[in-house]
Amino acid sequence: MGGGHLVVDAPRPGVARVLLDRPERRNALDAALVEGLHDALARLDARAIVLGSTDPSVFSAGADLDLPDPERARVSERLYGLYARMLETGVPLVAALEGPAVGGGAQLAVACDVRVAAPRARLRFPGPGHGLAIGAWALPSLVGRGRAMELCLSMRWIGAEEALRIGLVDRVAEDAQAAALDVAESFAALDPDAVARVKRVVGVASRHAAALAEEDEGNRRGWSGSVAGLERAGG
């Protein structure tokens, strides 16, 4: 199963795997990819979902910076809707990070419930350089207020080992995708109503929904696009 720059399969009992598949653009997020993710989350009948990449060298380079500004703004709006959908679904989502996750790609990772990273994986939350807050809605509940401020404002890379140490990822494994599938399979074996309840209570405690809406609204008002290339995985 595929389409919308995605490959979708069911490699384990109760587990769906959704792989970003736009390797020529380092899985940069365009309208087709974002709509494909919306569609997959709406249609998949699974007890747990793994989100990864067909290209082990990258998770996602973030928003596609070659899009015209009006289209990029629409993609950003749909991305925030996607993060909200990921938080609201009662199905646990496990991110398999095998390479860089930047900007919108890093936000896809933190919108998942659990993150498994390969040693070569790294994350980056650029944004303030061109009028955006990126990841501020999620990072405080993962790494604490001070670290969240530092990561958002420095816009620096966070390697896998540091990410594990500060709580940004939950596990580091040489084969991140296989380890993520193991985690998802263990979740899929649990009572689905209890899993959904745990996810809902954790979300309420984290205040993710309110913070996400605040970040989305502020970014719509404040985006300037003044630092071209900031979200590229190699930047």
Task: Specify the CATH number for the domain of residue 124.
Answer: 3.90.226.10
The answer to whether position 231 is within a domain reads no
CB neighbours of 44 closer than 8 A, spacing ≥ 6?
A: 8, 16, 18, 91
Instruction: Output the pLDDT for position 235.
Output: 38
pLDDT in tens, 60-100: 999 898 888 888 889 999 999 999 999 999 999 999 999 99
Mean pLDDT, rounded, of the chain: 91
* Structure tokens, 171: 């596990």
Evaluate whether residue 228 is within a structural domain: no
Average pLDDT on 200-205 reads 90
**17 lies in a domain?**
yes
pTM above 0.85, yes or no: yes
Q: Cα separation of 65 and 104, whole Å?
A: 11
Q: Domain limits at 93?
A: 2-222
Amino acid at 202: V
pLDDT of residue 2: 58
233 within some domain:
no
pLDDT in tens, 165-197: 999 999 999 999 999 999 999 999 999 999 999
